[in-house]
Amino acid sequence: MTLPKHIAIIMDGNGRWATEKGLSRSEGHLAGANTVELIIKECLRYTIPHLSLYAFSTENWKRPKEEVTYLFELFCQFVEKELPLMQKEGIRFTMVGDKTKLPEPARISLENAISQTKDGKKLELTLAINYSGTQELLYASRQSAIKILSDPQNLQKIQSIAQDTNALTQYFTTLFNEENYTEELFRSSLYLPALPDPDLIIRTSGELRLSNFYLLQAAYSEFYFTQTYWPDFSQKDFEQALQAYSQRKRRFGKIEKKSNQ
Ligand code: IPE
Ligand code: IPE
Ligand code: MG
């Protein structure tokens, strides 16, 4: 079976799962955290090297304050509880998203987990928190521009022609042309430049959209959608997603070779 190297999951349906059971939305999120633990163990078992989990989007701030507060408490509890397992199993914990706007205790416990697991070699576990694909692209384009403009050689040249508006405009056009402002430079400015694009993106709960997840990185991902709510997503569902992935023919724009060619 061909396995994906990077699986990204949009963990959706905690709220509906809870409502249908007469429980609070918080209880749904708590149940969802158990599924996270299960899926991490499955990735270790299948030796899948990268797992990304979409936990909180920049749009999720629009939810009621109590729900947001609970979610951040849960993230702290989760990483603290899982830290021994992560260290034991060789998990490297990483994060994508805007860390600067997180509640202080959450930022501290997430950063602590990042530094305590930095040598993990078996599985890179990336949590997307306060994440937006649009914001990541804006961030990368700003950073790329800063990299170009703050290059010492370029700075020197800019200073030397600073009084000549035409020469400056011309120089900027060259600095930002296809040869200088490249895809490689742009990608090197993403939140985690070394993380390969996801091969497989799973979304639970029956919604058929990306909701601002990995916009650039999803360019050639395979998608797997299931009706199952995230708290009910089981070992068997995970296996089914892997099975479905192994049947896909990924062409990346090419055509398939005939066997006698
Ligand atoms: C996903 O479950 C978890 C987060 C977005 C934090 P939801 O909370 O979106 O669950 P539904 O979609 O309301 O059922
Ligand atoms: C996407 O789920 C974000 C996460 C799973 C963290 P949402 O429940 O926020 O997405 P929409 O609002 O239904 O698109
Ligand atoms: Mg949802």
pLDDT of residue 261: 46
pLDDT of residue 257: 73
Question: Using 50, 70 and 90 to split pLDDT, how confident is the model at 52?
Answer: very high
Residue 45 has pLDDT above 90, yes or no: yes
Whether 60 is a known active-site residue: answer: yes
Name the residue at shortest CA distance from atom 1 of ligand 2.
211
| Amino acid found at 166 | N
Q: Which residues line ligand 2 (CB under 6 A)?
A: 10-12, 54-57, 60, 207, 209, 211
pLDDT single digits (tens) 92-113: 999 999 999 999 999 999 999 9
Question: Using 50, 70 and 90 to split pLDDT, how confident is the model at 259?
Answer: low
pLDDT of residue 256: 81
pLDDT single digits (tens) 181-194: 999 999 999 999 99
14 lines ligand 1 (CB under 6 A): yes
Task: Please name which ligand lies nearest the alpha carbon of 56.
Answer: 2
Q: What is the pLDDT averaged over residues 142-164?
A: 98
Whether 12 is a known active-site residue: answer: yes
Residue from 57, 209, 212, 229 to probe ligand 2 pocket by mutation (most atoms less than 8 Å from CB): 57
pLDDT single digits (tens) 112-122: 999 999 999 99
If you write DSSP's letter for every residue of 219-232 in order, what string do you get?
TT-EEEE-SS-GGG
Cα separation values, 28 from 21, 129, 178, 219, Å: 9, 18, 48, 31
26 lines ligand 1 (CB under 6 A): no
> Are 237 and 203 a contacting pair, CB within 8 Å?
no
Question: Would you state the torsion angle of the CA atoms of residues 104, 107, 108, 114, taken in this order, to the nearest 10 degrees?
Answer: 180
How many angstroms separate the alpha carbon of residue 211 from the centre of ligand 2?
6
63 lines ligand 1 (CB under 6 A): no
> Are 112 and 85 a contacting pair, CB within 8 Å?
no
Computed over its alpha carbons, how large is the radius of gyration of the chain? 21
pLDDT single digits (tens) 122-131: 999 999 999 9
C-alpha 25/C-alpha 13 separation (Å) is: 10
